[in-house]
Structure 1
Amino acid sequence: MAAVTATLTSSALRIGPYESATPVVLAPMAGITNVAFRRLCREYGAGFYVCEMITSRALVERHPKTMEMVTFDADEHPRSLQLYGVDPETMRQAVRMIADEGLADHVDMNFGCPVPKVTRKGGGSALPYKRRLFGEIVRAAVEAAEPAGIPVTVKFRIGIDDDHTTYLDAGRIAEDSGAAAVALHGRTAAQRYSGTADWSAIARLKEHVTGIPVLGNGDIFSAEDALRMRAETGCDGVVVGRGCLGRPWLFRDLQAAFAGEPVPAGPDLGEVCRVLRRHAELLADHMGEAKGVRDLRKHMTQYLRGFPVGSDLRHRFGLISTLAELDELLAGLDPTVPFPTDAEGPRGRQGSAGKVVLPEGWLDDPDDATVPCGAELDHNGG
């Protein structure tokens, strides 16, 4: 099967016909990486910026919420869309729809979600254990995308747990099936987001998959982390998720680091306030002021992390309902406060490890290609 490939030239990453001077990908995050947040991040640096995960079945059925989520800026290029699916035929239809209607330029496939409601039905990070089915889904997407020249990339985890690792098989199968690149989150589904990512697994995958680029994901919280991951693993690029929450300027830092330039100092509180206000403005443009400002509330803790902002004021930030109210609160902060060291390091959800909930008998036969029953019925667009 002919593949639309990605290549690395110097520090640039090419996926199909699209090249980024910075080998960085924004990981899809539900409720976060909408068009407003992606634009904010793009204003800071080059990279591939992927929209929130879309369910293939919901796309094919044109679920209203899903169609609303498939929104890109007029100048957003390439338009990267992540699909979740468990049925090869539904995936084929979804990608064909994307190609025929020009909905996106790049398709990323999600086989890394560790959420119990997904794995208990055989989806997300549970699915690569079923090697034949995994391959059929990837091939279906590649075949549907190929006539339009749309590259397909695949993201997965190390495996279900330490006793059921799948990433080497998944990488080989994805490459053989025509994927343009693969990305590995260096955790198992059982770890979820706890502990530390195993970057040595990314290095092993890079040694195992030699024909297409391998991207590393997990615990990239600074430009230094990205350079260190690349040095330790040999990966062709990095995928950034939680590390950019409340700090979209991370993409500026990454661009500087990969270009061999000094990484800028962290912004003072005045600059953070300007970024926060810009985020609010973009969300209001996308959703309307009332809904956009409500959506911003969940970002407040990350933006203000480490700064000397009292608990009462933080509470008020979490209850804002208008841009005017936001402006009033921002005006009360001291813009000269420097970026705090407490703001560095891991951020976002971490939680704890736990047993992965799987369909009954899921581990019995890894070559069983039966489509999981009901895994796509919850087609709420995520």
Structure 2
Amino acid sequence: MEDVTATLSKPALRIGPYEVDPPVVLAPMAGITNVAFRRLCQEYGAGIYVCEMITARAVVERHPGTMHMMTFGPNEKPRSMQLYGVDPKTMREAVKIIVGEGLADHIDSNFGCPVAKVTRKGGGAALPFKRRLFADIVRESASAAAEAGVPFTVKFRIGIDDDHHTYLDAGRIAEAEGAAAVSLHARTAAQRYSGKADWSAIARLKEAVTGIPVLGNGDIFAADDALRMMAETGCDGVVVGRGCLGRPWLFGELEAAFAGRPVPPGPKLGEVGRVLRRHAELLIKHDGARKALRDLRKHMAWYLMGFPVGSELRRRFAMVSSLDELDELIALLDADAPFPADAEGPRGRQGSPGKVTLPHGWLNDPDDDCVPEAEDMHSGG
């Protein structure tokens, strides 16, 4: 393992007025980072926990489903929201609503989504290629947020593909236009979530962006990964996404590691069952029992990953429809089964690399600042 002395002695991460200690951010994930999951993670450790992606257009139009997603727990500080948009004017209007009505304390922005339905309309990871449009969006959003003292941050990827890297320009532009911090998912959009993240790109971004914090994202599946990323790249903090799926206790492990304490061992299966039950309770409080139990099903494979749970029992967990049924299934687990070593690695979607779907002629002119037609996106992705 790298010498982490310098990592542990780095000044505390600050994003605007907020000290983030440990320097850990939960990445917004569609269908995952709702108020229930964020609270579950927060019960293990400190940091910033970002809600699911919210579209600027939906905020401006006050879409009921989006307003429900913009729910924060009473102890969430700062309340962190990720905003998606491709129109500088709409983004500015949405930010003014959010800060004017006190709906969030920190606004992040999504320029890293690789999903085809986003990039084919010029959004997400496709947008930083359009340097002037990207600058306009960051400037309008950051200035509107600054009026209320709310930090505006920017997350992006290395680029569209290996022939179109945009991250260094994106970092410099974001810093120049008023962003409080930048985060780099060290993959291209073409990689999606496959292969390995290129942490050396995070180091190069840190060298290029010197006036605001640079956070690294990609392949943090254990506390040791976070320490290594900071030691190897010099980044100011880490963003954790898929590594915490079915493992909200990862944030407790991260807090211990950054404090220089021994990392606690992974929980036995009985404790995992208790966490799963807690997750269900929080989801029911937010969404009602029917929707909550349906939503919980996708988490089952992540919670049970690597444990000795038979295929039939796994199938029943994946089809659970009531809290009583969940309790019955949890009672069937071997409570003393230890946390499996092979559960430390990658989890969640990985998929295969592929060609990025872009609007016709998108790569012809990086200085074209025309607004693409991507404003009909639903919040949450």
- Same fold? TM cut 0.5: yes
Partners of 2:306 and 2:340 within 8 A in 1: yes
**1:95-174 to 2 correspondences below 5 Å:** 95-174=95-174
Counterpart of 2:328, as a letter, is E
SS at match of 2:147: helix
**1:1-382 to 2 correspondences below 5 Å:** 10=10, 12-372=12-372, 374-380=373-379, 382=381
SS at match of 1:239: strand
- In the aligned structure 1, how far is the partner of 2:379 from the partner of 2:43? 30
- In the aligned structure 2, how far is the partner of 1:203 from the partner of 1:219? 15
TM-score by length of 1: 0.96
- In the aligned structure 2, how far is the partner of 1:62 from the partner of 1:290? 25
Structure 1 residues 65-124: Cα deviation after superposition (integer angstroms, max 9, x where no partner): 111100000111100000010000000000000011111000000000000010000000
Compute the displacement of 1:380 (Å). 4.8
Counterpart of 1:350, as a letter, is Q
Counterpart of 2:313, as a letter, is L
> Cα distance 1:103–1:216, how it changes in 2: closer, same or farther (>3 A)?
same
Compute the displacement of 1:310 (Å). 0.4
Partners of 2:31 and 2:380 within 8 A in 1: no
SS at match of 2:355: coil
Compute the displacement of 1:161 (Å). 0.3
Compute the displacement of 1:381 (Å). 5.1
Partners of 2:53 and 2:379 within 8 A in 1: no
Partners of 1:11 and 1:258 within 8 A in 2: no
Higher mean alpha-carbon deviation, 49-58 vs 8-17, is at 8-17
- In the aligned structure 1, how far is the partner of 2:291 from the partner of 2:227? 38
Compute the displacement of 1:9 (Å). 8.2
- In the aligned structure 1, how far is the partner of 2:134 from the partner of 2:291? 38
Partners of 1:11 and 1:21 within 8 A in 2: no
SS at match of 1:14: strand
Counterpart of 2:375, as a letter, is E
Structure 1: stretches of 5+ with no match in the other structure: 1-7
- In the aligned structure 2, how far is the partner of 1:230 from the partner of 1:145? 29
SS at match of 1:51: strand
Compute the displacement of 1:294 (Å). 1.2
> Cα distance 1:16–1:146, how it changes in 2: closer, same or farther (>3 A)?
same
SS at match of 1:187: strand
Structure 2: stretches of 5+ with no match in the other structure: 1-7
Partners of 2:14 and 2:213 within 8 A in 1: no
- In the aligned structure 2, how far is the partner of 1:12 from the partner of 1:304? 35
- In the aligned structure 2, how far is the partner of 1:310 from the partner of 1:246? 18
Compute the displacement of 1:170 (Å). 0.1
Counterpart of 1:150, as a letter, is V
> Cα distance 1:268–1:379, how it changes in 2: closer, same or farther (>3 A)?
closer
- In the aligned structure 2, how far is the partner of 1:148 from the partner of 1:266? 42
Partners of 2:160 and 2:356 within 8 A in 1: yes
Compute the displacement of 1:289 (Å). 1.4
SS at match of 1:172: helix
- In the aligned structure 2, how far is the partner of 1:381 from the partner of 1:38? 15
Partners of 1:11 and 1:22 within 8 A in 2: no
- In the aligned structure 2, how far is the partner of 1:90 from the partner of 1:359? 20
Compute the displacement of 1:378 (Å). 3.1
- In the aligned structure 1, how far is the partner of 2:221 from the partner of 2:9? 24
Compute the displacement of 1:10 (Å). 3.6
- In the aligned structure 1, how far is the partner of 2:179 from the partner of 2:21? 21
Structure 1 residues 162-183: Cα deviation after superposition (integer angstroms, max 9, x where no partner): 0000000000000000100000
Structure 1 residues 21-43: Cα deviation after superposition (integer angstroms, max 9, x where no partner): 20000000000000000000000
Counterpart of 2:103, as a letter, is L
Partners of 2:15 and 2:213 within 8 A in 1: no
Question: RMSD value over aligned CA atoms?
Answer: 1.1
Q: 4+ residue stretches of structure 1 with deviation over 2 A?
A: 8-12, 378-382
Counterpart of 1:159, as a letter, is G
- In the aligned structure 2, how far is the partner of 1:107 from the partner of 1:297? 30
> Cα distance 1:115–1:109, how it changes in 2: closer, same or farther (>3 A)?
same
- In the aligned structure 2, how far is the partner of 1:189 from the partner of 1:69? 26
Partners of 1:269 and 1:337 within 8 A in 2: yes
SS at match of 1:186: strand
> Cα distance 1:11–1:24, how it changes in 2: closer, same or farther (>3 A)?
farther
Partners of 1:65 and 1:381 within 8 A in 2: no
SS at match of 2:333: coil
Structure 1 residues 190-247: Cα deviation after superposition (integer angstroms, max 9, x where no partner): 0000000000000000000000010000000000100000011000000000000000
Q: How many residues align?
A: 374
Partners of 1:82 and 1:107 within 8 A in 2: yes
SS at match of 1:159: strand
TM-score by length of 2: 0.97
